[in-house]
Amino acid sequence: MVTISSKVVMCGDYAVGKTTFVKIFLGGGTENGYKATVGVDIGRKIISLDEHKLVFQIWDLSGQHSFKLIRRQFYTRTKGAILIYDVSRRETYDNMVNWIAEMLPETGKIPIVLIANKIDLKESDKDHVKSHEGDKLSKIISNKTGMDTPYFEASAIQQINDLEPFIALGKSILSQSNI
């Protein structure tokens, strides 16, 4: 058994649900209401995967535009990223390419997992971002990283695919670690 420590960043525009995912993963449940992350929150969780121990250090970044300039320094030594958009706000999908452009020069090629969040809002929003658009984006990311980009349609609030993205990222990080 090997213990691997990995810094992971949560990326995506404000209010897409980054903090909600992290809270669930860290075991804190969900809270109602939106409280914007200021700068970054850092959490830690150890999981067992394929006989190994993975120590996730999760950097939950602020998606607010006003933090864009300071975010760059947070990417050093990052081993993996979870990118999230909100299917009910198309601009958050369109902006994913800007997040990738912001991150990859700092991190180099790292495993990325893509989440289309808030699928519970799909029914009430005919203009929602469609599944094939998520697929397409995950392929674009794979082309940039040279790695598979697992893609999840999720509702953090309804706990649909709320933990799976973290496990998928952990597996990708392990497979990149030459153990």
Ligand X SMILES: Nc1nc2c(ncn2[C@@H]2O[C@H](COP(=O)(O)OP(=O)(O)OP(=O)(O)O)[C@@H](O)[C@H]2O)c(=O)[nH]1
Contact residues toward ligand X (CB under 6 A) are 12, 14-20, 33-34, 36-37, 62-64, 117-118, 120-121, 155-157
Site for Mg ion in 128-157 (CB under 5 A): none
Q: Measured in whole angstroms, how far is the alpha carbon of residue 42 from the centre of its chain? A: 14
The neighbour count for residue 104, using CB atoms within 10 Å, is: 17
CB 21 to ligand X: min, Å: 7
Q: Which residues contact 40 (CB under 8 A, 6 or more apart)?
A: 59, 60, 61, 62, 71, 74
Name the binder of 102 from Mg ion, ligand X, none, CB < 5-8 A by kind. Answer: none
Nearest CB to ligand X, comparing residues 30 and 142: 30
Name the binder of 16 from ligand X, Mg ion, none, CB < 5-8 A by kind. Answer: ligand X
**AA letter at 88:** S
Choosing from 19, 78, 92, 172, the residue that interacts with Mg ion (CB under 5 A) is 19
Report strand pairing: 52-61 vs 40-49: antiparallel
Question: CA of 88: how far to CAs of 16, 116, 155, in Å?
Answer: 9, 10, 12
Q: Is 37 in the site for Mg ion (CB under 5 A)?
A: yes
Q: Which residues bind Mg ion (CB under 5 A)?
A: 18-19, 37
